[in-house]
A and B are shown apart, each in its own frame.
Chain A
Amino acid sequence: MTALAGGREIAPAASMRRIAAGGGSGPAVVLGVVFTVLAGVAAAGCGASGSSAEGSGVVALATPNSPLVTLRIGFRTGSVDDPAGKNGLNALTALTMGRGGTEALSFQEITEALYPWSASIRAQADKEMTVLVGEVHRDHLEPFFAIVRDLVVAPRFDESDFVRNRDFLTNTVVSTLRGSDDEELGKEALNALLYAGHPYESPTVGTEEGLAALTLDDVRAFHREHYTRARALVGVAGGYPDGFVERVEQEILDRLPDAGGERAPLPAPRALDGRELLLVDKDAIATAISIGFPIDLTRAGDDFHALMVANSYFGEHRTFNGLLMNKMRGQRGLNYGDYSYIENFIQDGGSRLPIPNIPRGRQFFSIWIRPVPHHNAHFALRQAIRELHVLVDEGLSAEDFEATREFLLNYSKLYVQTTSRRLGYHMDSAVYGAGYFIDEIQRRLTALTVDDVNAAIRRHLQYDDLAIAVVTRDADAFRDALLAGEPSPATYNTAVTEEIQAEDALIEGFDLAINPERVRVVPVEEMFRAVTAG
């Protein structure tokens, strides 16, 4: 439920179409597209590590009746491959390809070519995978393909494109992330805490110092070493003509360098030391909270679908199906929303579904508490963690299990309403070495029992070791309050039921048991300056 005060995101520059996201009261500039996209990307072997060639090649999905064609040119590289001190190198390489020129055409010439077709090319980078996504009407597939191909195999890497894109990423870190989006800031703070010392630690877009250290030669070398055939996974979908897939193979894959197939082993994240707390101090209008811990489970794991059911019951993204959403927002009106995840999750535009092509070899469980008025933040944190206790200790009832399974069996079909998304999920399944994700949900969920789900909860979820990231005003005082552990009753707009009052009595004094040795307050200006390496 959203007030579209404009509601649109923009690329670095764009004119506005009148219709946009359903109208709105004014143009919205969220400065989000590139950041949002890049915020999700990374690199290394998913599911494992090493030099396996699995998950490379071409995935083709023909829909002959469709007038649209999608190309997803993926590479199994990401921010995990950024060299020490050069955080952001992959993101900048991807951006300078996606928003740069080819040997034959400048960025400006490409922009002018794409414009009358309304075709798009965008870069999406995460920690272990990077994708150039191109979409075009088939009327223009031939010249469009030539451009996409050359961006991949013969990028221009012009100095001007490099500087502009590097500055944009720097602005994303120092201005957008620190000053314009407390929810993303909270999630990135959780990532930094969770993965301190791990290749995942840096924001995918890089750090302030890492970006400042980059040169155009770095970008060229990174491209040469990491955007290789062995790491390539190319997806093609839509109404493309006969023989097109073969051309993609010949004109893109066959022209990529052979080197670079070796992917560095991805270490396990550090073990959390009890409940660790990172407070980001800024003049925030409300308190944003993210909680998480690593889990040793991906889509390739046997327990994934059982845990998917548990998570949907607990905190399905932006629905009232989730227990957190019902109890924190629905019953108490504490904030706008409260959800949980068992994978890295980046919302696809205005939808409520995750974008594809952000597979990771290491995943984490997380709880996202959207901004809460400062005076209720302590209570909200207590409630979220207490609910996690209840989930882990008690699991799902048979009734909750059945209802959630039925929901997911239907809802998962909506994941792939567009051909582009379907292609993306097929590619992800190839990376994970698993069956097609949507089909696997149907197959696995049908065979699940409530005992399977509760056993998976016990194997993968816990509440003793948590990373807690909080973005708030007057963080020192909040830290002191959290450590002191005094009761923190919620303040409501109205009287609540006796049932809620009784539960609140348990929540407001709930022992957060934060490890005082693992508490840090960081001014926002110091966030993402560089990785801390531990």
Chain B
Amino acid sequence: MSWKHRISAAAALVLAAVTAAGAQDGREVFPFPVTTFELDNGLKVVGVDYDSPGIIAYYTVVRTGSRNEVEPGFSGYAHFFEHMMFRGTEKYPTDAYNAVVKRIGADSNAFTTSDWTTYYIVASSDALETIMDLESDRFRNLQYSEDDFRTEAGAILGEYNLNFSNPVSLLRERLHDLAYTTHPYKHTTIGLLEDIREMPNHYDYSLQFYDRYYRPENCIVVVVGDFDQDELERLAAEYYGGWERGSFEPEIPQEPPQTEARSARITWPNPTLPFLMMGYHAPAFSDQRIDMPALDVLSQLLFSETSPLFRKLYLEEQVVDALQGGALDSRDSPLFTIIARITDPTRIEYVRDAVIDEIERLKTEPVDEEVLAATKSHMRYGFAMGLDNPGGIARTLGHYLQLTEDPATVNRVYELYDAVSPEDVMMVADAYFADTNRTVVILTQEEGQ
């Protein structure tokens, strides 16, 4: 183990620390003791001491997602590969793997996003070694046949089909395709239908994908709950120590600045109210710059249930029955995305213009200090209240770890939130919400429906 340190000495069960008062006296937003260590092969292991008697959450974070799908024709591969990770090894063929997971009564699954892929198991604490045996084995020794690979492609198509019975999936796919010209965020994580249909023919590519990304230096293990830290360190060395480091460096093409407004209209063949989706290119995640936290505050000022825009469109005029906006923490520049479901098909443009007008107002009118304080309080308490179970804590920390590999990031981000000023909000409103940076997609019900 090449390095080891402990951060956050706060006592367990002190979520009360995550309060506005906590913010004022500088206490950290993440209240649980965290211990990190790194094996010589680059695998990082993060342990969080949390009071969940007899239960642990074991997350393996892979810093690879659909962002890494740079070759044309291979969209959706990060997600497809996530499925293949359940197809067994020589030591634990699929049935044997499933039998062990069943025996220990685990909640085991995985998910893929644009930036990361995560495999998780929540189970009894006494299963820790069994879990580490299973997980290290499939990360090091995955072995599946071409027939298995082709069969699993059917499940991917099934997942696409269930997602795309919802018009929002179509909207999102179109918005990203239109807003991006170059970066892989152009396609959604599930992938394009034509690529999904071709997946069965790309067995060799899947092996290459595994070889590239399922390497220790690209992964982080997060363990939360009731476990012994010394045992975790011993078992990590035993089960992961022999995992060979990789060398692949992905080249992610960067998106050039958008220089003109873009728009599209699409239709839906089944009954639906109209949807409006708008996107603005926003800054990539940083735990150093104020832009992203200021944008998060801005999203609250625009779209929270206390915002003037919400009050006008939802409560008073009732022209929308759903309104949401914001940007997700992302390795590269994401879209600040706004979506509204509109109750009156003749008011789509009205809603669009109302959103734009409100953004324009926030470019020049500083936010009231009391409103800003309430917003920051909301964000802190919201964070604290989500930390009420081992899986939720592991997922939250995993999210920040996939961005920077540093568990201290979460505290730094919330320090930045505390520092956001009215001027910062005006600055980001002005910097990122130019007309030329905007893409709009409108979805309406097909004529005749």
Contacts and interface: CB of A to CB of B under 8 A. Distances in A.
A21 B328 CA distance: 10
A28 B113 CA distance: 12
Contacts of B381: 116-119, 137
B311 interface: yes
A492 B82 contact: no
A138 B296 CA distance: 26
Contact of A25 (B82, B176, B378): B176
Interface string B113-154: 111101000111000000000000000000000110011111
A408 B103 CA distance: 9
A182 B165 contact: yes
Interface residues of A, number: 109
A17 B296 contact: yes
A167 B113 contact: no
A372 B271 CA distance: 21
Contacts of B118: 22
Nearest to B275: A29
A67 B270 contact: no
B142 to A, nearest CB: 15
B303 A13 contact: yes
B374 A524 contact: no
A353 B374 CA distance: 34
Contacts, number: 366
Contacts of B315: 107-108, 160, 164
Contacts of A118: 377-382, 384-385
B318 interface: yes
Interface stretch (B2-10, B236-244, B319-327, B418-426): B319-327
Contact of B385 (A7, A13, A135): A135
Contacts of B272: 175, 179-180
A10 B341 CA distance: 11
A3 B190 contact: yes
A524 B269 CA distance: 12
B147 A495 contact: yes
A209 to B, nearest CB: 16
B388 interface: yes
A333 B156 CA distance: 8
Interface stretch (B51-59, B253-261, B351-359): B51-59
Contact of A371 (B20, B161, B305, B400): B161
Nearest to A112: B306
A80 to B, nearest CB: 27
B399 A180 contact: no
Nearest to B123: A410
A389 to B, nearest CB: 23
Given A13-B323, A23-B330, A525-B271, A3 B111 contact: yes
B15 A68 contact: yes
A320 B107 contact: no
A29 B154 contact: no
B154 A335 contact: yes
Given A18-B326, A179-B268, A3 B159 contact: yes
Nearest to B326: A16
B55 A284 contact: no
B23 interface: no
Contacts of A419: 388
Interface string B88-114: 000000100011011111111111111
A199 B94 CA distance: 45
Contacts of B303: 13-16
A168 interface: yes
B304 interface: yes
Given A2-B110, A108-B311, A28 B165 contact: no
Given A2-B110, A331-B151, A411-B106, A418 B389 contact: yes
A348 B49 CA distance: 25
B271 A371 contact: no
B107 A111 contact: no
Given A68-B385, A117-B377, A413-B105, A180 B321 contact: no
Question: Which of B66, B110, B321, B377 is packed against the most chain A CB atoms within 10 Å?
Answer: B321
A320 B98 contact: yes
A285 to B, nearest CB: 5
Interface in A272-291: 282-286, 288
Given A336-B155, A407-B102, A17 B379 contact: yes
A171 interface: yes
B390 interface: yes
B172 A1 contact: no
A14 B165 contact: no
B16 interface: yes
Given A27-B324, A180-B165, A494-B151, A5 B188 contact: yes
Nearest to B54: A413
Contact of B146 (A117, A182, A370, A494): A494
A29 B330 contact: no
A321 B103 CA distance: 10
Given A118-B381, A331-B151, A408-B105, A3 B305 contact: no
Interface in B149-202: 150-155, 157-159, 161-169, 172, 175-176, 185, 188-191, 200
A15 B273 contact: no
A111 B306 contact: yes
A480 to B, nearest CB: 22
B102 A282 contact: no
A232 interface: no
A373 B375 CA distance: 46
A14 B158 contact: no
A318 interface: yes
B440 to A, nearest CB: 14
A438 interface: no
A139 interface: yes
Contacts of B305: 11, 13-14, 111, 115
A330 interface: yes
Contacts of B60: none
B158 A286 contact: yes
Contact of B341 (A29, A119, A351): A29
B19 interface: yes
B214 interface: no
B103 A27 contact: no
Interface string B335-366: 10101010100000000000000000000000
A182 B86 contact: no
Contact of A5 (B153, B169, B310): B169
A138 to B, nearest CB: 8
Given A5-B189, A31-B341, A24 B321 contact: no
B44 interface: no
Interface string B290-306: 00100010011011111
A166 to B, nearest CB: 11
A321 B94 CA distance: 11
A68 B314 CA distance: 30
Contacts of B166: 30, 180-181
A22 B113 contact: yes
A115 B311 contact: no
A26 B335 contact: yes
A17 B389 contact: no
A371 B304 contact: no
Contacts of A220: none
A12 B322 contact: yes
Interface of B: 13-16, 19-20, 51-52, 54-55, 65-66, 76, 79, 82-83, 86, 94, 98-99, 101-116, 118, 122-124, 146-147, 150-155, 157-159, 161-169, 172, 175-176, 185, 188-191, 200, 268-273, 275, 292, 296, 299-300, 302-307, 310-311, 314-315, 318, 320-330, 334-335, 337, 339, 341, 343, 373-375, 377-382, 384-385, 388-391, 395-396, 398-400, 402, 445
Given A11-B305, A14-B324, 8 more contacts: A22-B398, A118-B378, A135-B385, A171-B341, A175-B273, A321-B101, A330-B94, A371-B162
6 contacts: A18-B296, A23-B329, A25-B113, A26-B175, A333-B154, A417-B391
Q: Which 7 A-B pairs have the closest CB atoms?
A: A410-B105, A333-B154, A16-B326, A494-B150, A118-B381, A335-B158, A15-B303
